[in-house]
Structure 1
Amino acid sequence: MKAAIYPGDGRAIAIETLPDPEPGPGEVIIKVERCGICGTDLTMTKGGQWDYGSGVQFGHEYAGEIIALGSQVSGYRVGERVAVQPSVACGECHACRSHGNTILCQSRLGSAMHGFAELARVPVSVATRLPSVLSAADGALIEPLAISLYGAQLAQIKSGEPVLVLGGGTVALYAIYWARRLGAGRIVAMSRSARRRDLSLAMGADQFIAYGDNEIGEVIEALGAPPAIVFECVGAEGLLHKAVMHAAQFGRIISLGFCTAPDTVIPALASYKCASIQFSVGYTMGEFLYIADQMDKGHCDPKVIVSNEIGLDALPAMFDTLRGPNDETKVHVCCGS
């Protein structure tokens, strides 16, 4: 089979030929149909402190068809389409038992990040069966949808509350999507350019505002009040401070941007608002199952953010494209093509 391999230390991704995997006890083999490129993939393959490591397979937003079952697998059959939760958790540590957040598992029994490949061997415990109405493209969006749903649930949105979403990427667009579905009042999307304006409105935002000198007043005018909830979905330096400046008194700031550099916040400004900042990473299997069941029942089709579909051989060149100025939103790799 072909698979994308990251050599480590920021070196170029290679497409290599590996032996076809065989399922072990409790495992399934998946013919990968779609895998999305995530911003985390770009961050973790550029070298430096935050790095996937050397000689590793990767790709964590994927779905495909089961083509082989290992022993001790029950309840699944060959030919079923599944999405994959990429972290293999112990189920016993504090994060697993108290919160169900497998990304934070303290034991980490392994990784199922094998999406940029023709075939993936994964424990059946991380496979989520897709309803027949969902495609592989739908399934490959469950993981990023789960990230934003987890953050939106942490925000504890009350009916009618005004919401500001900072950013225009996948996590931001899906934060808008869930804020709308969970009962938010008016929603403003804010980014540095208007390139994702139409997508933001399609996801459920009432208005799009670009960063600028008068942005705080513009947001208040658009929402009718300062935002009770601010989702920071960019992960760039200065965005937490921007979130604090926008938040209402007793406002909640949800950090979904996963910034890997120091980001300055002035505590006195946040204190005068009694603002709270909740950092978030990951999701639970509950989010995965809910999305698989409810994905086709929302106010819009989450697939509208998919801007390009490429073959596996084109993956290295696409990473180069995404690291510079580009017009992509979510790129899906069709691994079986």
Structure 2
Amino acid sequence: MRAVVCANGELSVETLPALRPGAGQVLLNVLRCGICGSDLHARTHCDELADLFALTGFDTMMRSNQRVVMGHEFCGEVVEYGPATRRRWKPGTPVVAMPMLRHGRDPYPTGLSQQASGGYAEQVLVQECMTFPVRNGLSADHAALTEPMAVAWHAVRKGRVTSRRTAFVIGCGPVGLAVIALLKTSGVRTVIASDFSPRRRELAASCGADIVIDPAVAAPWDFDPTQRHNAVDTLNLGFDIMQRLRRIPNLPWWWMFRALHTFDLGPSGPVVFECVGAPGVIDDIIAVCPPRSRIVVVGVCMQPDRLRPALAINKEVELRFALGYDPGEFRDTLHMLAEGKVNATPLITGTVGLDGVNTAFTTLTSPDQHAKILVDPHSTATTPLPYAT
């Protein structure tokens, strides 16, 4: 089969031996595969990424001296089953799968490991138990977005944006755009997006952002329609409440504060989704966000970073980190796409063939034109073609 191989930071199209499904595995013909920002990082910084994952006990990520077929955002059609499978779907059935492959008891990340060949190829192997049929005639283009949209759905669920809170999305690359779309799908009233790139701001509006800000011109926090408060406001509120409550004799006023904590009814800031992944961004957000904000870190920063914990403590900022998704979130994301509950079309800005993946990687280093480029293994395009909806 033809595939794009990454070795020592270089991409090349090669003819490789045909894949054979092992126990519990299914062989797919790849229909589409998205190029992810993590692929761009892994191409040149995979050793750093592997070292980081090794600290968590997961020591199977690709290394620069290995030859790896990348690509983990794919849609394909069933070709052949390996042993110990239930053969759930007929050959030709379009499916998506969580990009993890297991050999025995050892799991490997598809497209980011030498032991799990990825979707920048004519074929890919998947685990049957982690595979889901594409429904309602959903196109292969949109089905291939299941994986990155599931990442965003997991982050949105971690954010737990209530009706009283505004959501801010800092950084409108592919992850930020997906977060915007799913925030609106989940019913969030006000989503404020911020990015320096005019093209990305345009795409953010197309994904449903209610307010789109150029941070070089204005601070996004100034556009929050909910009532803002600072540390002094919070203290004065405490004084005012206590003055009123203690006028009432024998009132167990402390029960009210217990209720406020139990039901999270006290003053709160917005929920901020950090989707940039660059050093200094988290600390910058902590410095300027309102008190009691919740920050969900979705962007992957590969360099050491610096935080001022005392500043976050003084504001009682809540910091959460989001990685990946679970099988239920992956399935639910596919169904939201298939049922038209989320509009992912603005994310796709181009398509390319296997011979154009190297050019696509270079193109995606600039934010001014493309967001998500899909790879069509059957296309002869060597440069990204504009996506036709």
**Interval of TM-score (by shorter of Structure 1 and Structure 2):** 0.7 to 0.9
Q: Which residue of 1 aligns with 2:346?
A: 304
Structure 1: distance between partners of 2:272 and 2:4: 36
Structure 1 counterpart of 2:312: 270
Q: Which residue of 2 aligns with 1:103?
A: none
Residue 131 in structure 1 maps to residue 135 in structure 2: yes
Q: Judge conservation of contact 1:229–1:247 (CA < 8 Å) in 2.
A: no
CA deviation after TM superposition for structure 1 residue 248, in Å:
2.6
**Shift of residue 277, structure 1, vs aligned partner:** 0.6
**Counterpart mapping for 1:12-31 below 5 A:** 12-31=10-29
**Greater Rg over alpha carbons, structure:** 2
1:14-62 C-alpha deviation (Å, 9 max, x unpaired): 1110111122232211000100111100101114523632111110100
Q: Counterpart of 2:194?
A: 190
Alpha carbons 2:221, 2:289 under 8 Å: kept:
no
Map of 2:255 onto structure 1: none
Any unmatched runs of 5+ in structure 2?
Answer: 51-61, 112-117, 229-268, 380-389
Q: TM-score, normalised by structure 1?
A: 0.88
SS in 2 for 1:45: helix
Q: What is the SS of the residue equivalent to 1:336? A: coil
Tell me the SS of whatever aligns to 2:49: coil
Identity rate of aligned residues, in percent? 30
Which one of 76, 85, 98 corresponds to residue 64 of structure 1? 76
Stretches of structure 1 that go unaligned for 5 or more consecutive residues are 91-106
Is residue 2:289 matched to residue 1:247? yes
CA distance in 1, matches of 2:377, 2:84: 28
Q: Is 1:3–2:3 an aligned residue pair?
A: yes
- TM alignment of 1:188-267, pairs within 5 A: 188-212=192-216, 214-215=218-219, 218-226=220-228, 228-267=270-309
Residue by residue over 1:264-318, the C-alpha shift from the partner in whole angstroms, topping out at 9 and shown as x without a partner, is 2211221121001101111111111101212144555202211110001111122
CA distance in 2, matches of 1:59, 1:256: 20
Query: What RMSD, in angstroms, separates the aligned Cα atoms of the two structures?
Result: 2.1
CA contact (8 A) 1:63 1:81 kept: yes
Hey, what's the Cα distance between the residues in 2 that align with 1:326 and 1:201? 15
C-alpha contact (below 8 Å) 2:135/2:338 kept by paired residues: no
Q: Aligned letter for 2:209?
A: A
In structure 1, what residue type is equivalent to 2:68? V
User: Who is 2:93 aligned against?
Assistant: 80
Residues 145-182 of structure 1 deviation map (CA, whole Å, 9 limit, x = unaligned): 01111011111111242111000111101111121122
Distance (Å, rounded) in 2 between the aligned partners of 1:318 and 1:213: 31
- Superposed CA deviations along residues 98-154 of structure 1, whole A, max 9, x for unmatched, are xxxxxxxxx752233311110112221221211032111111100110111101111
Deviation at 1:225, TM superposition (A): 4.0
8 Å Cα contact 1:32-1:119 kept in structure 2: yes
Give the partner amino acid of 2:225. Answer: L
TM-score where L is the length of structure 2? 0.77
The alpha carbon displacement at 1:263 in A equals 2.0
Distance 1:38 1:161 in 2: 30
Q: 1:281 aligns with which of 300, 318, 323?
A: 323
CA distance in 1, matches of 2:18, 2:42: 26
In the alignment, the residues of structure 2 paired with residue 225 and residue 328 of structure 1 have an alpha-carbon distance, to the nearest angstrom, of 36
Number of residue pairs matched by the alignment: 318
How far did 1:233 drift? 0.3
From the superposition, tell whether residues 171 and 325 of structure 1 become closer, same or farther in structure 2 (CA, over 3 Å). Answer: closer
